[in-house]
Amino acid sequence: MKTQLKTLSVLTILASMSSEASTLAIDARGDAMGGTGVVSASYLTAPFYNPALVAIYRRNDDAGMLIPSLGLNYNDEDKMLDKVDNVISNPSSTALNELNGTQAKVDFGGALAFGLPNRYIAANVFGKAYVENVATPEIDKTGSNDAERAARSAVKTASVAVTEIGISFAKYQTLFGQHFSFGVSPKIQRTYTYTSLSSLNDFSLNNIRENSQGDTAFNIDAGALWFHGPFRAGFSAKNILSRNIQTARGTKNIGGKDIQYGYEYQLSPLYTAGVGFIADYFQFSVDYDLNTEKKFSSFDDDTRMLRAGVEVDLARQVQLRGGYMKNMARDSEGTLTAGIGLRPLNIIEMDIAASYTSPQAMGASINFIATY
């Protein structure tokens, strides 16, 4: 049971990537540097961090492609899946109390981008898709004994997936002797929601697509960058047009008890500031979210990230990266990140990243970039 649950958690996401998307950056270079990018992203990955960076490129950059970028994050720090298994095998008050209030998450995403740098209006056509899956138990408190409480308890799952297609425009300008760039990214978002409710014995993320619905809307990102030599400061605003997204709602009988399901998801603006030292062979940057994101109304998923990252470039052929990020909105562990970039003969670049919070919370991403 335990192994099956963990396997299903990952395989469900992999199987459903074609219709999903989020505010996740989905960029292996940035992921390796603690998720930073407001001042350190390239003109190719700029739409996922700060569209103003689309206008910042080297003179020999004529065009580029991100083809593609893929990322997966798994988080079961509460050991919810193990605790579900414990309740099934031993439905005691202790096991039920340990399961109560736990949560498991799996996020997956992919991205594509085509950059067209020029000194008039730099542009980047991009697409991104990601899914955020959350599972949490609802423990019964009215049963006459532990076995009845376990039979009347359930696991609720919710999934929101966002697919984005857009174009970023950016312009470099000199104002009052200072160097700036400004960018904007109009985009179309297709949002899908899924939700399910099952008994502890029947819990599986395979049925998460049973109750689905979707809608399409327009949104916009914007950003600005100031730089002087290697020193940079920037600001980005993602999903400026806030949306309240409702999942399907209903009632299901679990062990003779009617339990309601259905959630509200807030796709709200995220404002992030960044500073950094960005030189040819060494980079260090820090990003900080200026507001807290509250996503699912019924889950404890508030996020307000502090991120820091470093990159060392070895002769334009190999880049070594490391970073750290922490959710300042919750009492949670920090995450260490690391990765490598490979540029054989500067023809194509491959970036690989990994993140580690605990044995129950890890992630990985990879992308390929070609420039001309």
pLDDT of residue 259: 92
Q: What are the domain boundaries of the chain? A: 2-371
User: How wide is the angle at C-alpha 363 spanned by C-alphas 359 and 368, nearest 5°?
Assistant: 150
Cβ–Cβ under 8 Å, residues 334 and 326: yes
Superfamily, domain 2-371:
Outer membrane protein transport protein (OMPP1/FadL/TodX) (2.40.160.60)
Q: Give the three-state DSSP class for 330.
A: coil
Q: What is the pLDDT of residue 331?
A: 81
CA geometry: angle 338, 343, 346, nearest 5 deg: 150
Average pLDDT for runs of 10 along the chain of length 372: 37 32 70 96 95 90 86 88 90 93 88 92 95 89 91 90 95 93 97 89 72 89 97 97 89 91 88 97 97 81 93 94 94 92 85 93 91 77
3 state DSSP class of 210: helix
DSSP 31-78: HHTTT--TTT--TTTGGGT-GGGGG---TT---EEEEEEEEEEEE-TT
CA pair distance 94, 311, nearest whole angstrom: 47
N-to-C CA span, the chain: 51
Q: Is 193:245 a contact under the CB 8 Å cutoff?
A: yes
Token match 């502090």: residue? Answer: 306
Phi, psi of 288 (to 5 degrees): -140, 125
CA-to-CA distance for 94 and 125, rounded, in angstroms? 53
Beta bridge partners, 342, equal 318, 350
pLDDT at 13: 33
Are residues 223 and 52 in contact, defined by beta-carbon separation less than 8 angstroms?
yes
